[in-house]
Structure 1
Amino acid sequence: MQVRLEQVTKTFAGSKNTQATAVKELDVTIASGKLVGLLGPSGCGKSTTLFMIAGIHDVSEGHIYFGDHDVTALPSDKRGVGIVFQNYALYPHLTVWDNIAFPLLNAKEMKKRLKQRFAELSPPMANFKAYIQRLVEEAAKLVELTAYLDRKPAELSGGQQQRVAIARAIVKNPSILLLDEPLSNLDARLRVQTRDEIKRIQKQTGITTVFVTHDQDEALSICDEVIILKDGVLQQQGPPQEVYDHPANQFVAEFLGSPQINLVGGSIKANKLYLGNEEWFALPESLSDQPVNIGVRYENIRPDRENRKQAFEATVTSIARTGGTSTVQVRLADGQPMRLHRDSDDVLQEGDRVRLYARPRTVYIFNAEGEKILQC
């Protein structure tokens, strides 16, 4: 099911008759069958957008379409969506079977649709109860919880509880699955394991899925596309690697990547890029003289072993070792800091003077305000 938001705005009433805009004039299309991440810092409008898709929040302005059907004014229970909340919202006194079956047995609109589907089964089944049993078992099998159907939530790990919540959402055979920060309550190991499970389940079911997260590693690792928001405004949408390699502006470049992209001040003079006061390299395109911000990802900076003309000087200030990798902090001649990845064959020590190199095609140039990219 394709999801389309056209000029969608959401405002909330504030104090003293003021209004706060959480989402502003959002135009996005989520292709059918894709896993798409809504990504951005806390307070950027991710969950608000998700809740408008779900029908939990009303739309202040604009329209939401599922396929060609305008669902803007449609109640949540008639939209055919499954939603998984951050806190799982499992019933502690019910078994896994009962938690998964709950929406099938307790939602009037859902039971009505199920009975219609039951009547159309071919070959027919003996009774409605057996049909429910089959749906629950299919959902449990999909999330690999068949052996746990008689257990209570307290007897499960955090990752298993999360999979119960996913099974409860997909047992309804939704057209769209909505996940609101589903991994935030898990430890690091379980987050990696569960995000892989989400990817597997989504691919197996083919359900259009919208995944809200502030963790860019999660989004980049499992999503087909990411939608990046800032202050309720769309910054960029596209495949994760494409957005990482070709950010639309400085905010996107800073938000994606770990460690964060290096950003230093520079300037363009006579179509040459200056790093601080040092001429770096000539630009392939004609750009006007102006102050700029220069972005270079840490994995693209290397010690210069070939005495390149385009190398620049720096001093090593610290080396952080994390297992088998090391991150080197350096300071440029004008005092600006940078980080780079240290290869196993780089022999660097604190205080060393080094010459560093980055291929010009890996250097991003932003205008001084960071609102647009001049070269990518």
Structure 2
Amino acid sequence: MKVKQLNILKAHHGDCCIIELNNTNGEPYIILIDGGPRENFRTSLVHDLDKYKKIDLIILTHIDHDHIGGLLEYLGSSIADKHEFDKIIINAPNLLTVNNEGTQISMNEGLKFEKVLKEKRPEIKVIGNVTTETILDKFLPEGINIKILSPNNIALKELYLNWPKKEESNTQISIEEIIKAREFDVSFHELASKKDKEKSIKTDFVNASSIAFSIRVNNFHGLFMGDAHSSIITESLTKFYPDDVPVVFDYIKLSHHGSKYNISNAFLDQIICFNYIISTNGGAGRSKHPDRETIAKVICHKNMKEEKVKFYFNYPIKTIEEKTGKLFKDDEIKLFEYSEQNQIII
């Protein structure tokens, strides 16, 4: 099994990625990770999935609007009828999703997603209650290894404890914290030295429950972090790779669109990687991404000094800066490489 390409869709302020693999016979194996917000269904998903006959594995990392909305629209549409489906990995006791008001969770939309799977896509095998204790080997073809690095049992339990037990009118739970100023006048060196800022599982249970995973095939070792907490992933790396720390990855999709709350020096101590993917158009509402601090921590870390780090943005930096404000000084741009592209050929 080999990875042919990564397609990081222009999913607005959200996440949506296609991993295209081929087995030894040249047959495709397609993994769809998240679906972006609702508007991503028409702007990207319809076009980018059109060439595939079968979607072998869907991974819904968590229930934020900017990850599940487009997937809900896609699976509920007649357009999805042209595709075959095999499996979906999802942690959601009632398949809770998000409404159109951005940073809110709505029970009614979750019930709709559950209904879509049961009534329109009953052929999809649901793999649920996935934690770092889950072994996926029996669900995957030979030659592909996926390790679940988040959530742990504590984070998944917290999500389920906060899950509404029945449909209620106007049931909403806040899931986003307003991101503050960009600290444009603070140097990369100072930002890299800042104390890590991760939120607690209790106050950020939705992101803490996000599925993060590593995937290894013959020609590729990648880490897809969803919106997961870096502390949970750090713990898992120590557990799964006891003799290989720091673990070498070819590509890492950074957590939560490059948020400073989802990166830490403790995590960076555990990895070596020179290619980082950041999925965002700059953010939505008052939540802006990526954070300068995230970029600084990565490029200044001792494990990433052998060569220049490269960031892959799925939108042009100028487009991102229309929402975030100017991100980089001229002398900072020289410290790393970057690419503005959606398809990464492996």
TM-score (norm 2): 0.27
* Structure with greater strand share of residues: 1
- Between structure 1 and structure 2, the one with the greater Rg is 1
TM-score (norm 1): 0.25
